[in-house]
Amino acid sequence: MRILWTFCIYNEIELLPFKIDYIVKNNIDCYVFDNMSTDGTWEWLQENKVPSERFDSDNMFNLKLNIKLIAEKIYEVKPNWTIFAGCDIFYANKENKTLRQVIEEADSKSFNIINSAYRSLTFYYTGTEKSGIDPRLNYMFYIPGEIGHERCIAKFCPDFKIVADRFKFENMNTMKDPNFLFLHYHLRHDAKLRKTEQSVRRKKAWDLGLVPANWGSHYRKLVNEKIFVFNPKALADIRNSGMWKQIKNSVKRG
């Protein structure tokens, strides 16, 4: 079974090596679109021979353009299954299955899409986490997510569309597995700088009418509230959870 993971990035040199390692361990193909990064991301992709290309969006986060590039690549490759979750998203499984095993099992049971955020965990910076470490071994404090509806993992079909963060097509048969963990690491040690910059890049696209203003509107709230360091006492510690062993295992196995 061929699985393709394709995603767009901008200045992700910190997480990118861990993301690619995770993808490779799962025997998944990948293709990366670099949005003119300035932090060495593009150079790392070339040095490590990761299938990739650059695109210029005039220094803005144009999600419609990102979606167009991703969809075109998927249609070109026509893999059996495809994923488009971003660089700050990893997956783990409470039954110690790899991501590939989860997808193969979904396929064998005639599912054609996975609700990838059915059990979501969002991790936060508390002031002690260090840069340059796999986020799964570095960020311990999280808020257990409610049932989400991210659908970025699906079986290829000729009529699919991507709308914001979801695949959409006719006759979706969705797998909802509470053992499948969605791990999100978007509020890291450099969140103040990154999120402020991302908000400016998004606003430019909003102001030009290139994307709907509600796509990514949570960035306005985040930047306006200016809360980038969180109190660990208000969060759950993953090390006190039975999920910690499985997350560590995902670093080793994928």
Question: Model confidence over 61-110: pLDDT tens digits?
Answer: 999 999 999 999 999 999 999 999 999 999 999 999 999 999 999 999 99
Q: Mean per-residue pLDDT for 145-168?
A: 85
Q: Where are the beta strands (DSSP E) in 89-131?
A: 89-93, 113-114, 119-124
**pLDDT exceeds 90 at position 172:** yes
pLDDT digits (tens, 9 = 90+) for 193-226: 888 888 889 888 888 988 887 777 777 777 777 7
Helix (H) or strand (E) holding 81: strand 81-83
DSSP string for residues in 186-225: EE-TTHHHHHHHHHHHHHHHHHTTSS-TTTTTHHHHHHHH
pLDDT band at 148 (very low <50, low <70, confident <90, very high): low
Report the 10 Å Cβ neighbour count for 113. 23
The reported pTM is: 0.94
pLDDT band at 146 (very low <50, low <70, confident <90, very high): low
Q: Where are the domains of the chain?
A: 3-253
pLDDT band at 50 (very low <50, low <70, confident <90, very high): very high
Q: Which among 26, 47, 1 is positioned nearest to 253, based on CA atoms?
A: 26
Q: Of 3.30.870, 3.30.1600, 3.30.200, 3.90.550, which CATH number belongs to 3-253?
A: 3.90.550
**Which two structure tokens, joined as six digits, stand for 243?**
């999920």
Give me the pLDDT at residue 196, please.
Answer: 85
**pLDDT exceeds 90 at position 243:** yes
Highest mean pLDDT: which range of 55-59, 117-121, 142-146: 55-59
Give me the pLDDT at residue 139, please.
Answer: 98
Q: Mean per-residue pLDDT for 3-21?
A: 97
Are residues 77 and 4 in contact, defined by beta-carbon separation less than 8 angstroms? yes
